[in-house]
Amino acid sequence: MKFYPYKRLNRPITLRVTSASLKLPDGSRDHLDTSAYSTPQRTVALGVAQHEDWVSARIGLSATLPPGANAPEAPWSDLRVLAVLTDGETNVRTAVDLRQDAPGSKEWSGDIEVFRDDHVGRAVLAAHAVATVDDVAGRAIAETDEDWTVDVAAEEPLGGLRLDVKQTSFSKSAREWLHAYFDAPWIVDASGRVPTVLVNTDIEGFSDLLGGDSGGIENKVHEMLVSQMATDVWVAVFHSSVGDLEVEPDGSPVFPTDWQGEVLREMLPDVVPGVHVEEALRQVHRRRTGDAGWVELQTRIHYAAVRRAGASKALANALRGLHQMNRGDGA
């Protein structure tokens, strides 16, 4: 937990993406529909329109400040709200002022320009409220605790994880280590640049079922299988991400800058709820490297994975399909 030598707001800013558009080389602008961004996943996928040569993207934003921000007795003045886009891979940081929608309103809005040449993958979008407190200008009094991700290449807003799925015969694979898992339907390999799901083609009919093209209840089973695979992936990549963290001289863990950092930022709010992600990472690191608490944390890790895999929805759809099928047989 961070301590500040001045008063702050005790709740976070809520940030939403309200629009997205791409500026093309000829100067025209392609306004993307809402499939380009997901509020539950807090992700913007700028590859959705499949323009490989876009110049910049304009992302519309709306931020809601917590109660008390505009209170007459508030111990600050010169309130400003900033949207900040940070790319850990290219070290580019862009900040813009948002505008207050009306005098005294808690709602602030505006847009931020994302230049294609400045980014190669994923960047983090956050909002910060700053003000003059105790005659010191520019002090942070609130920020988002659930940041957004802007992905310049992704075609779907899937959140902090992109997968590589490969089908192979486990018993005959050139990867000799797979031979020991000949009877497993799939294996998650989280050791590479991106997580890889290896699907075992030795299991007869499994690949066809994963294709999900047969219709009827087979599609529901396909959906359940995919959600189970995704759950396994989220669990595996979380453990991979916390398994070899760099630490500061004072022992504090550092967020990785690649996909592992995105996985941690995505899952930590459910693994250690109620605290900022930096504090959550410190708690997880202490439990993993300490004497107690790591085993008890496994339930929270699995819960976070299940949520992101959409397992509850997949199960509900399968049960609904079975119910409809049974009703049809009964008729």
More confidently predicted of 50 and 215: 50
- The stretch 78-101 carries a mean pLDDT of 93
First to last CA, the chain: 61
Among the residue ranges 22-31, 121-130, 255-264, 265-274, the one predicted with the least confidence is: 255-264
- Angle at Cα 146 formed by Cα 142 and Cα 152, nearest 5°? 120
Residue 44 has pLDDT above 60, yes or no: yes
Tokens encoding 142: 């609130």
Q: Which residue has the tokens 């876009």?
A: 54
More confidently predicted of 276 and 59: 59
Q: In this structure, what is the dihedral angle of CA atoms 50, 308, 59, 66, given to the nearest 10 degrees?
A: 180
User: pLDDT digits over 239-248, tens only?
Assistant: 988 988 888 8
- The stretch 254-278 carries a mean pLDDT of 82
Identify the pLDDT of residue 4.
76
pTM over 0.85: no
Among the residue ranges 53-57, 201-205, 279-283, the one predicted with the least confidence is: 201-205
More confidently predicted of 329 and 315: 315
Question: Residue 258: pLDDT band by 50, 70, 90 thresholds?
Answer: low
Among the residue ranges 4-8, 126-130, 206-210, the one predicted with the least confidence is: 206-210
- The stretch 87-91 carries a mean pLDDT of 86
User: If 0-12 CB within 10 Å is exposed, 13-18 middle and 19+ buried, where does residue 238 land?
Assistant: buried
Identify the pLDDT of residue 215.
54
Residue 28 CB contacts under 8 Å (≥ 6 apart), including other chains = none
